[in-house]
Amino acid sequence: MPNAFTTISFTESVKAAQTRYGSRENNRGFELQDDPRNELGDLEMEFITARDSFYMATISENEWPYVQHRGGPVGFLRVLDARTIGFADFSGNRQYLSVGNLNANARVSLILMDYPNRRRLKIWGITRIVHEDHEPELIARLVASGYRARVERGLVIQVEAIEWNCPQHITPRYSEAEVDHVMQPLLDENKKLREQVMQQNSSNANGVTIEPLGDGSLALVVAGVRQLTPHIRSYELRHSEGKKLPVVSAGSHLSIPVLLPDGSPSTRNYSISSNPTQQDCYEIAVLLESEGSGGSRFVHEHFQLGTLLNCGLPRNDFALHEDKRSAVLIAGGIGITPIRSMASVLKNEGRDFQLHYVGRSKHDMAYIDDLQNEFGEQLNLYPAGRHSLDLANLMTNVTDESVFYVCGSQRLVEGVQQTATKLGIAETRIRFERFYSPVISNAQSIEVKLRRSGKTLIVPHDVTILSAVEAIGIKTLSDCKVGNCGTCAVKVLEGSPLHCDTALTERERTQGKLMCICVSRANSVKLVLDL
């Protein structure tokens, strides 16, 4: 059987090029190999399962190639057998270029890189797109356990050919984990010295050592505190070990550890308000909510210079569009935090945008001086009692393609949504982030049965399903707790959910049978969940 790689790749035009440039005879040896090279051996299987990314090429209907990076935890590209590999396709920017191409032409080519060891494996194959509602067992084989990303579909690839590449022009590159492994003795010594210094500096007046808050993977230290308004304080956060911070995009947030009044640990999500290009620190701004659950009060009372925090890695559920359409940024009160970051990015990139900021008074509006210095006439202020924001006028006098971003009170967000509906503005042009749970009128208690845990509980009308589940010791993923991110989405096995989130697509709700238990309730008196 001829070599599959050459059968696919050595077209007549390729052979002609080889002849012209003097390599035809050398390449003829590939064609004469006895091994067809269309199955994965132990070497290839081990190499594939050790990768955390690869590059995938598809061909569009207009014959243009498209190359996309795919990443995930180590081993997310699964070996199903010697002729089949597959992976769970995570939710991304929702352009669906590769998936669309594969619907028309199932051929695909992968390049898997091992930069430290200068190795490269090429795979050619035929792809099949699979969905959970049709092949749940196959999707389950592809899902990476514990990886916090929403799976939209699976891609299963029948291997047609494989080929290892020469390492001649592969530049060695190392991930942070690989560098840490090589430098581990030095890192251990450095960490020990830093812990000794931190222990000395973080002892209180009674000589009791203050431990870092939280159990997240990102170690930060409060490096600056600034009073922005009587009730809003900003905190500058840097890496506690002097390392580089993860790169973020405008609209990202951090999961900050806090202690509630009863002493129980919890987290609160705060938007990163600083310019994403400022990579040595993050800035967050926290509004003191005296009548809240206690998270913001803890931050105001206990966060000071030197406070150590083990935070969750930054996430973004409120990202800017990347095309050339103009942006209309609308912020209310503390909602200025992600909007400020967005405005900085848009200005740096020379993109068209408007910035509108609503507040009770200038005295209560955070970052006013900074915003006026940075944006000048592009900033429009609406302190209550002096100026009011006319949403209908604003949303009418923009281009037909402008994208609206709003963050603020429930009244402001709903005002933008309702105005958009009246004006016939498509929902896809309205993007918002809320930091409150939606109010459900006439909410009733519901019975919730957890199929896998074998437990049944009654969820009162004023308690979320997520809180009730966590209260009985059932561990489940969650993050924003206000329906923005979709992390807490679980499958509904029986019953009719009342969706109140903004994260799930209609397909995920109807065909995927998912619901976000942090905010959503039920239209039925009972729900059965896959928990």
- Tell me whether the CATH fold assigned to 214-316 matches the one assigned to 446-529: no
Pseudo-torsion of CA 439, 440, 446, 451, nearest 10°? -70
Domain 38-164: which CATH number of 3.60.70.12, 3.40.640.10, 3.30.465.10, 2.30.110.10? 2.30.110.10
pTM of the model: 0.58
> Is residue 526 a contact partner of residue 459, using CB atoms and an 8 Å limit?
no
> Is residue 157 a contact partner of residue 108, using CB atoms and an 8 Å limit?
yes
Find the largest Cα–Cα distance for the chain: 84
Nearest partner of 144 among 51, 206, 9, judged by Cα: 51
Q: What is the 3-state secondary structure (H, E, C) of 340-368?
A: HHHHHHHHHCCCCEEEEEEECCHHHCCCH
**Predicted local confidence at residue 146, as pLDDT:** 67
**What residue ranges do the domains of the chain occupy?**
38-164, 214-316, 327-433, 446-529
Return the SS3 of 336. Answer: helix
**Predicted local confidence at residue 206, as pLDDT:** 45
Quick: pLDDT tens for 219-232: 999 999 999 999 99
Quick: pLDDT tens for 276-323: 988 889 999 999 988 777 889 999 999 999 999 999 999 998 999 999
Start-to-end CA distance of the chain, whole Å, equals 50
The overall average pLDDT reported for the chain is 88
Pseudo-torsion of CA 445, 449, 455, 461, nearest 10°? -10
Where is average pLDDT lowest: 148-152, 236-240, 495-499? 148-152
> Is residue 362 a contact partner of residue 382, using CB atoms and an 8 Å limit?
no
**How large a percentage of the chain has pLDDT more than 90?**
53
CB atoms within 10 A of CB 428: 8
Instruction: Region of 100 please: left (phi>0), alpha (psi -120 to 50) or beta.
Output: alpha
Report whether pLDDT(339) > 60.
yes
| Nearby residues of 437 by Cβ (< 8 Å), 6 or more positions away | 464, 481, 482, 483, 518, 519
Separation between Cα atoms, residue 15 and residue 11, nearest integer Å: 6
**Predicted local confidence at residue 221, as pLDDT:** 95
So what's the architecture of 214-316 in CATH? Beta Barrel (2.40)
Quick: pLDDT tens for 427-461: 899 998 877 666 666 778 899 999 888 899 999 98
**Predicted local confidence at residue 143, as pLDDT:** 86
Report whether pLDDT(205) > 50.
no
**Predicted local confidence at residue 336, as pLDDT:** 96
Quick: pLDDT tens for 346-371: 999 999 999 999 998 888 999 999 99
| Nearby residues of 314 by Cβ (< 8 Å), 6 or more positions away | 218, 246, 248, 252, 253, 254, 272, 282
**Predicted local confidence at residue 191, as pLDDT:** 64
CATH topology of domain 327-433: Rossmann fold (3.40.50)
Quick: pLDDT tens for 2-32: 788 888 989 999 999 999 998 888 888 777 7
Domain 446-529: which CATH number of 2.40.160.50, 3.90.105.10, 1.10.357.10, 3.10.20.30? 3.10.20.30
Separation between Cα atoms, residue 309 and residue 302, nearest integer Å: 12
